[in-house]
Amino acid sequence: MPKVKCAIIGSGNIGTDLMIKVMRTSENLEMGAMVGIDPASDGLARAARLKVPTTHEGIEGLRRMPEYRDIQVVFDATSAKAHLVNDALLRADGKKVIDLTPAAIGPFTIPAINGDANIDQPNVNMVTCGGQATIPMVYAVKRASKRVVYGEIVASISSKSAGPGTRANIDEFTETTSKAIEVLGGAERGKAIIILNPAEPPLIMRDTVFTLSQGGDREAIEASILEMVASVQKYVPGYRLKQKVQFEVIGDNAPVRIPGIGLSSGLKTTIMLEVEGAAHYLPAYAGNLDIMTSAALVTADHWAAKVRSQEAA
């Protein structure tokens, strides 16, 4: 049974890393096309060397390629604004869309939280790199508590791992991640911050997660967090706790003010993470690329396995 052909739109850091992952690790997908808008991009040059059909004429160039008719799933690694146009054209052509931008047209998907729940949707949104790394921790606190009043994440990534697409999406990153902290993580109020760190040598992706919860004990929360770390490690081996989970009681005598909610007390949980990349394209410090492309690949690969099974029946 032949593998399902895919295309990647966006020949920058994320798209190139994803292409290499598809070619090296996917059980059910094979590259059908690599799409960019800069004919001199390293991603397109690398794809050509790997004998992957390419175009530097964007979505319209892809639709003109003879290979397009055999492509069943398309990964979009461009920008939130560009995805609005790309998605409409791709879905009109009957293509499955995996969205690696913060456009959030389709349902939020984080493999460790909602697994294959959305794989049959025509458009699946992978939230953001920071969201993929941190929201599983908010969810882990929520499932061990009665209530998560607030969830805040700070994602720090190497400036070298943030290409033009990532930089163009900073506002959308914070908005989409904040929303997903609430929708997927279960927090009543979410906030997201991203830091592009220019340090040399480049630092590995670091993430800090803060939650304020009620109705849960420390042992149960910590056990839930450790279980979630193991779940994410199944597809991102370099995902790990940087320090032991920290707790602080916020008493009724000194509550904190949560925007939109008011004065609140409870158990503050601080989770510090490190995400080391698999170094398929950029070096290992670019864990932000690795967790995003790994999550997108496992989601698409599961869908492709289902398609192949149906075709074989």
Alpha helices (H) in 73-217, listed in sequence order: 80-92, 111-114, 129-143, 164-168, 170-183
d(CA 313, CA 305): 12
> 113: helix, coil or strand?
helix
Helices 170-183 & 129-143 angle (0-180, nearest 10): 20
Let me know the angle formed at the C-alpha of 133 by 196 and 246, rounded to the nearest 5 degrees: 95
Catalytic residue among 22, 47, 129, 192: 129
CB 275 within 8 A of CB 287: yes
Pull the structure tokens for residue 13: 């850091």
Pull the structure tokens for residue 294: 């790994």
d(CA 123, CA 104): 9
Q: Strand 4-9 relative to strand 239-241: parallel, antiparallel, unpaired?
A: unpaired
Which amino acid makes up residue 86? Answer: N
Q: Which candidate, 86, 79, 126, places its Cα nearest to that of 106?
A: 126
> 243: helix, coil or strand?
coil
Q: Is 143 left (phi over 0), alpha (psi -120 to 50) or beta?
A: alpha
H-helix or E-strand spanning residue 266: strand 266-275
d(CA 230, CA 83): 32
Alpha helices (H) in 184-249, listed in sequence order: 218-233
Is 6 known to be catalytic?
no
Q: Strand 262-264 relative to strand 123-125: parallel, antiparallel, unpaired?
A: unpaired
What are the catalytic residues?
129
